[in-house]
Chain A
């Protein structure tokens, strides 16, 4: 926009701010102020009864550093991010390439891939529980046919988190596929024609043309997948309740548990502050990777 600020008469500025006022009030009330309050609260003890909370400095954070469950939640969440993000992205791109290509039954494929996006996580989770159920669950039925013995997927600390990761990838890949589909449509057909003229193989075409050209989409999807990974909570509540032995406790779930089951609000505030810091870190990363204005302009 070329208009210079000074050109607007004052009442335009007032009018513009008035139009934005309801949104500003709501955003302040439910995003900015609670964000700041969370950080302030993390320096106070949990109030008991009607007495005001006592200032305790960094005590909540010392508790946090000494709390093995907090570390476990952080570790689980990092694993969740490190494993589900690349998997979802890779699968999303593969799905998009399949659906955009000349494959048989692409409409059915697209439907199958995208459907999990529309399903409520809680509903899907309750169906997935059956897949993982010991003995007669679907996964165990298949595994027994293949000659292995039945396994309690959600009951074993070693497999519970991977089981939730599978559900997460299943839910997200089709959603991200849509962005790749759009990106693939933007690739100039001339490039593929040129590659065909040079008799380049499929893999070479992908590596030299497709992959570099969908890079902005990959970054965009990666950042969104990363944010989502740190907000995963529905499937934990619906499928494992954080168990067994906190093997599936993730950050947001732990905040929920500490805040609303143990009612330790001071400590929950410190945990929330950690989550805020992580999300802030991701947004810094985003600006570094994408430049300020690529996607949010």
Chain B
């Protein structure tokens, strides 16, 4: 066979494979949408004439305090994001702009957290929260993640690329360090903050183990934990209602993703390692 014929064959096979994989990858979500919007009788029966309904969503919504879970998750992800922005900006600035005494050692110690994330140390961190009286609080869920090695790393990179002259100019006008960060660095690093924010929100919206351990009441449970409690308390294996609940918990992120696909993918690329 000539190269061209093999290439054609190759292209045909890979294109088919691509579509098969895409279908496979989309299948769980497609199925969840099918089950959630049809009566329970059609959960395993794929009949195109099946009637559409929102009943599963209303039943899921009524069966568990999802409104409260939503509120908890929103408060949690926003709180973590704002905390990370503040704490990581300050640390990153110090490390990026000045060659600090012991700065390299400090940076290396910070990077340890990329590997040893708070969820690896659940036992000790739980004990620390107990001592601080933060068990079953949103603060307790968020606190270990606020000083994010990844955030410091990412912002330090960004700040390093900002010309020193702009910094000097601001200082000449009498700006303090904090004012310089606010007026010079934050505006220039905005795309990075957007990227970091999106990744942080997606990560903590979906985070499960740590909030599962720390929370034990409706008032503090985020959506992921609430969904698990809801699905594991016997629902009589009503797939339609569970699928509706699963879709509900993912919906805000999914819709945001569909609307801002490019920004999301760019953000994960920019801030990928979390």
Contact = CB atoms under 8 A, between A and B. Distances in A.
Interface of A: 1, 3-5, 8, 12-13, 15-20, 22-27, 29-35, 37-38, 41, 91, 94-95, 98, 103-105, 108-124, 126-128, 130-131, 136-138, 141, 170, 173-175, 178-179, 181-182, 199-203, 224, 227, 231, 233-234, 237-238, 252, 255-256, 259-260, 265, 268-269, 272, 275-276, 279-280, 282-283, 296-297
Interface of B: 3, 6-7, 10-11, 14-15, 17-19, 21-29, 31-32, 35, 44, 87-88, 90-91, 93-95, 97-101, 103, 106, 109-126, 128, 143-144, 146-147, 149, 152-153, 157, 160, 177, 202, 205-206, 208-209, 212-213, 223-225, 227-228, 231, 239, 242-243, 245-247, 249-250, 253-254, 257-258, 261, 264-265, 268-269, 272-273
A103 B15 contact: yes
Nearest to A279: B115
Which residue, of B44, B116, B120, B177, has the highest number of chain A Cβ atoms within 10 A? B120
B14 A131 contact: no
A234 to B, nearest CB: 5
A120 B100 contact: no
B270 to A, nearest CB: 9
A117 B267 CA distance: 13
Contact of B149 (A27, A33, A116, A182): A27
Most buried by A among B110, B111, B122, B144: B122
Given A3-B99, A123-B249, A179 B123 contact: no
A173 B21 CA distance: 11
14 contacts: A16-B94, A16-B103, A25-B147, A35-B121, A38-B124, A94-B18, A115-B29, A127-B28, A178-B265, A227-B115, A231-B119, A237-B212, A259-B122, A296-B153
B147 A128 contact: no
Q: Which of A111, A118, A138 has most B Cβ within 10 Å?
A: A118
3 nearest CB pairs, A to B? A34-B124, A26-B147, A16-B94
Given A27-B147, A282-B115, A104 B15 contact: yes
Nearest to A236: B209
A34 B231 CA distance: 33
A160 B132 CA distance: 40
A24 B110 CA distance: 8
A274 B121 CA distance: 12
A291 B208 CA distance: 33
B223 to A, nearest CB: 7
Contact of B125 (A34, A173, A268): A34
B62 to A, nearest CB: 18
Nearest to B95: A20
A32 B110 CA distance: 9
The SS class assigned to the B binding surface is: helix
A126 B246 contact: yes
Q: Is the interface of A mostly helix, strand, loop or mixed?
A: helix
Contact of B213 (A18, A127, A260, A297): A260
A95 B123 contact: no
Given A120-B249, A202-B7, A260-B213, A138 B31 contact: yes
Q: Which of B28, B128, B146, B224 has the most CB of A within 10 A?
A: B28
Contacts of A111: 26, 258, 261
A231 B117 contact: yes
Contact of B115 (A20, A27, A122, A283): A283
Nearest to B106: A20
A213 B26 CA distance: 30
Given A23-B88, A113-B22, A178-B265, A280 B115 contact: yes
B162 to A, nearest CB: 13
A272 B121 contact: yes
B231 A126 contact: yes
A268 B196 CA distance: 33
Name the residue among A23, A182, A227 with the largest chain B CB count within 10 angstroms.
A23
B44 to A, nearest CB: 5
B261 A118 contact: no
Contacts of B23: 112
Given A22-B87, A138-B31, A126 B227 contact: yes
A174 B24 CA distance: 12
